[in-house]
A and B are shown apart, each in its own frame.
Chain A
């Protein structure tokens, strides 16, 4: 790891000030993705801005028909939250399968969503649930947020503050893990929301995406069978030593089917 300065601001305003003043500064929350990257010297931040002292970034609360989750909320807190379990059980279940226990004890929702690793779990939930990303500056719809591999609509120095999840009628999540890393090889988050049925696919491609053909099929008939025969095109999906694009395409269908079954 290259050395860096370390700052621990107590407010979002202070954090944003630090980040804006130094384009090479990086925020850290749980650090479960950032620290392994730093250890391999994949990037060289001048300063690390530790967000963990900012109380306003914490907490899970229900606001009418929405669940609002602070950026600094740890995966374990989402998984164990009675509020989340009752409102969006699929989200709690997803959080409980991210990485391993130790990753869940440190990693945060805001960190994961801001990083937008194609093999991460949360982006699928955010996109399928039609969530809204709240930053220190603005509100961003999920459909506008995930732009590409490790790329989001966040501007330099812009901080993710919270995510608002509309409570769906039904939702389910299923994934196949990469046998080695245990990251997502192909996952599907399906949701019946006020804005319609939404299906988000993670792991399989360079960025989480919506599977519209499945959305239409599920709109007509909410059942595992409705998606079982829908083939995901393999074009643009990832291919590596763990599986071809064709295999991942196949898994997309299987995981979508299982996600619908899990949603009930």
Chain B
């Protein structure tokens, strides 16, 4: 059986997979990182988004073998070892940007990539367009958009602390 060696959340593993094994299957079933979800089978919903070498990708639309040598970050790898949340995770909590939580890991991973790639800052419209690859059925996106707008201020160092939702 083929093998793939990759680094997930800083930890390098070598795993036996089939040719057809998807990256998301490797993460969920072989590494038991079940925070990355599968919500569709047509690459539409984005519940499976992870970072591969710093870019957001749909892990349901990538073979595990295509991740040979890659650095992968999943939702489980975002918080600091002491438990401090990433500013995007913190913002999602502060702005009530999640309800059932199922789309949340993919949404957070996409949001982080979106903000990191736009250091100049994103408008509400740009945030909405930037979320084209992620579906949420619970929130109507209102609070997700607000959370990302707030998180980008912290991620780009324009604020030291997250603006409170009550502001």
Contacts and interface: CB of A to CB of B under 8 A. Distances in A.
Direct contact of A and B (CB under 8 A): yes
B62 A101 contact: no
A48 B132 contact: no
A102 B46 contact: yes
B145 interface: no
Contact of B65 (A36, A50, A106): A50
Nearest to A181: B44
Contacts of A5: 19
A38 interface: yes
Nearest to B49: A102
Interface in A29-71: 31-32, 35-36, 38-40, 48, 50, 52
Given A3-B18, A31-B66, A105-B56, A100 B132 contact: yes
> Which of A1, A2, A99, A101 has its CB near the most chain B CB atoms (within 10 A)?
A101
Interface in A1-26: 1-6, 8
B11 interface: no
B39 interface: no
A106 B19 contact: no
B19 A31 contact: no
A196 to B, nearest CB: 34
Nearest to B58: A102
A137 B72 CA distance: 37
A182 B132 contact: yes
A103 interface: yes
Contacts of A181: 44
Interface of A: 1-6, 8, 28, 31-32, 35-36, 38-40, 48, 50, 52, 76, 99-103, 105-106, 181-182
Given A4-B19, A101-B132, 8 more contacts: A3-B19, A6-B2, A31-B61, A39-B41, A100-B133, A102-B61, A103-B58, A106-B61
